[in-house]
Structure 1
Amino acid sequence: MSKPFDMELFLAGVLTGSHATRQRHVRQAKIIMAEIAGRWQRETPWTWQKKHVAWFLKHRMSHRSEATRYYYLLTARLLARRLNTSWVFIL
């Protein structure tokens, strides 16, 4: 039996800011991970493609406020930085 993916440990190298900001990024990254896992059965960020995160931002966040979408965009950019990719997301 494998251990569940630790998103906080995954993001630890790229997280900056206050404790509340770091916790928000971790919480939002876990939500993104759960949505992608539910849709595409991709359990860890290492298996994601840009289309997975773009789908989340476009379809799952479409009914949210502009401010909420912006904060999720920041988290997506943080995930892309951690994955060392050149993904660019635009609202």
Structure 2
Amino acid sequence: MSKPFDMELFLAGVLAGSHATRQRHLKQAKLIQAEIAKRWQRETPWAWQRKHMAWFLNHRTKHCSEATRYYYLLTIRLLARRLDSSWTFNL
């Protein structure tokens, strides 16, 4: 039996800011993880490719407001930094 992936532990090293900001990033990262797992069966960020996060930004947030899309972009950049990748994302 495997343990569920702990997103809070994964992002602990790169999370900064107020408590509310950290909680928002964690909530959004868990939602991103769930959507990618549902679409591509990739459970952990270590298995993700750039295309997975770009898909989330382009397709899952297209009906969101610009402000919401921006906050998801910040969370995705945080995930990319934690993965130590050179991926860049724009809206």
Aligning the two structures, in what range does the TM-score lie when normalised by the shorter sequence?
over 0.9
Q: Secondary structure at the match of 1:27?
A: helix
Q: What displacement does 1:76 show?
A: 0.1
For 1:8, the equivalent position in structure 2 comes to: 8
After superposition, residues 67-82 of structure 1 pair within 5 angstroms as 67-82=67-82
What are the equivalent positions in structure 2 for 1:22-33 lying under 5 Å apart?
22-33=22-33
The one-letter code sitting in structure 2 at the alignment partner of 1:16 is: A
Deviation at 1:17, TM superposition (A): 0.1
Which digits, 9 at most, give the CA deviation of each residue in 1:55-89, with x for residues without a partner?
A: 00000000000000000000000000000000000
Q: Which runs of 5+ in 1 are unaligned?
A: none
AA partner of residue 35 (structure 1): E
Runs of 4+ in 1 over 4 A off after TM superposition: none
RMSD: 0.2
In the alignment, the residues of structure 1 paired with residue 32 and residue 55 of structure 2 have an alpha-carbon distance, to the nearest angstrom, of 10
Relative to the length of structure 1, the TM-score reads 0.99
- Pairing 1:17-56 to 2, within 5 Å after superposition: 17-56=17-56
Query: Whole-Å Cα distance in 2 between the matches of residues 5 and 27 of structure 1?
Result: 14
**Secondary structure, in 3 states, of the residue corresponding to 1:13?**
coil
Identity in percent: 80
Q: What is the aligned length?
A: 91
Q: Distance in 2 between matches of 1:63 and 1:14?
A: 28
Q: In structure 2, what residue type is equivalent to 1:80?
A: A
Letter in 2 for 1:72: Y
**Which residue of 2 is the match for residue 86 of structure 1?**
86
**Unmatched segments (≥5 aa) in structure 2:** none
